[in-house]
Amino acid sequence: MINLEFKSVIELIKAFPNQQVCIDHLELLRWNGNVISPFDATSKVYKCAGNKYKCKNTGKYFNVCTATLFDNTKIELQTWFLAIYLITAHKKGISSLQLAKDLNVTQKTAWFMNHRIRNCFGITDASDGGEKLGGEGVVVESDVTVIGGKVKNLSMSKRKAIKEKKMDMHGNKTNVAGYVERSGKIRLEVLNGKRESDGVRDNIATDSVLMTDNANNYNQVGKEFAHHGVVDHRLNQYCIDGVYHTNTIEGAFSLLDRMVTGIYHYVSPKHMQKYLNEFSFRYNSRDKKENTRFNMMLLNTENRLTYKQLISK
């Protein structure tokens, strides 16, 4: 099942024609013949009818969807598989309105599915358990961008509220830091008050070659790396000797901006990190085949998001 290849929606539907084939594929990916109880990993497991299993130590029943994004859902796995394929295959993502039309579900359901899938896109930074980017001799570029609309483009009522409550006129903007290996992986994170220098320390290995612009935030932290290359955009320096530049991360920011403005139009600061993880997943798997990227996503589905958690303030 793992080696099934598909390059289009039609081929995906042919590969997974019914619920049972989807279940078999998930079981092979998740357990590979060695079923593990989500309630007690050390427990013996009994196979029951109807694709169910029983955990001996806890006495609880479970299936392959338990404790995953598919848990406690009435939507068939074939529909979930199609949603995952569409979200991961579209280079700039897909809106909940378009996903609802493609899956023949309500926009509210599509929105929830989109966020549930987006919640499984991976680790944000090394402090969450991921490996740092770079390594000996690897060039890693770092920069910061701002995501958010202009206050003048807000509705009259929202502008009036900002003025009356004396709110920050830039409060609708989110600072996002990016770190990217040349011809390698990218990692994006919402700074949310975090210093840019701390973000660099958390995400990039010190034996890397750090490449940044002339911002003062990088002066001190740059000394901690094997080499710190700087380009000064104020002097119209954008590429020196074909090595000193931040064009890779700026190009990635350009793609991110097209995703936000072109597809989603607006991303709240609350959900921003999940959208960044979605972008990073597609960027880091850009050289993978469609079925490989699809299976990568299925291997990371043990991260359930409830609707209550999603809409909580």
Specify the pairing of strand 209-213 against strand 227-231: parallel
pLDDT band at residue 235, thresholds of 50, 70 and 90? confident
Q: Is the pLDDT of residue 46 over 70?
A: yes
The DSSP element (H or E) to which 186 belongs, if any, is strand 186-190
Mean pLDDT of the chain: 90
How many other CB atoms are found less than 10 A from the CB of residue 264? 17
Predicted confidence at residue 160, as pLDDT, reads 76
Predicted confidence at residue 256, as pLDDT, reads 95
Burial 160-171, CB ≥16 within 10 A → b, else e: eebeeeeeeeee
Predicted confidence at residue 1, as pLDDT, reads 47
Predicted confidence at residue 61, as pLDDT, reads 97
- Among the listed ranges 34-38, 148-152, 205-209, 244-248, which one has the minimum average pLDDT value? 148-152
Q: Is the pLDDT of residue 248 over 80?
A: yes
Range 282-297 average pLDDT: 92
Range 238-257 average pLDDT: 92
State the Rg of the chain over Cα. 22
The residue that leads in pLDDT, 286 or 157, is: 286
Specify the pairing of strand 61-62 against strand 186-190: unpaired
Longest dimension (CA), the chain: 71
pLDDT band at residue 265, thresholds of 50, 70 and 90? confident
Helix intervals (H) in 119-271? 156-164, 196-203, 247-259
Predicted confidence at residue 96, as pLDDT, reads 95
């579900």: which residue's tokens? 105
Q: Is the pLDDT of residue 88 over 60?
A: yes
User: Is residue 208 helix, strand or coil?
Assistant: coil
């359930």: which residue's tokens? 304
For 204-262, list the strands marked E by DSSP: 209-213, 227-231
Q: What is d(CA 120, CA 274) in angstroms, rounded to the nearest whole number?
A: 9
Q: What is d(CA 274, CA 270) in angstroms, rounded to the nearest whole number?
A: 9
Predicted confidence at residue 120, as pLDDT, reads 93
CB 213 within 8 A of CB 230: yes
Helix intervals (H) in the chain? 9-15, 19-30, 77-89, 96-103, 107-118, 156-164, 196-203, 247-259, 272-284, 290-298, 307-311
% of residues, the chain, pLDDT over 90: 73
Predicted confidence at residue 165, as pLDDT, reads 62
∠ at Cα 262 (259, 266), nearest 5°? 80
Pick the CATH number of 126-269 from 3.30.410, 3.40.50, 3.30.420, 1.10.3470: 3.30.420
pLDDT band at residue 170, thresholds of 50, 70 and 90? low
CB 134 within 8 A of CB 140: yes
pTM: 0.88
What tokens does 87 get? 């979200």
User: Is residue 289 helix, strand or coil?
Assistant: coil
Predicted confidence at residue 86, as pLDDT, reads 95
What tokens does 17 get? 């024609």
% of residues, the chain, pLDDT over 70: 91
Q: What is d(CA 269, CA 147) in angstroms, rounded to the nearest whole number?
A: 9
pLDDT band at residue 155, thresholds of 50, 70 and 90? confident
pLDDT band at residue 167, thresholds of 50, 70 and 90? low
Q: What is the pLDDT of residues 97-122, one digit of tens each?
A: 999 999 999 999 999 999 999 999 97
Q: Is the backbone of residue 227 left (phi > 0), alpha (psi -120 to 50) or beta?
A: beta
Predicted confidence at residue 18, as pLDDT, reads 95
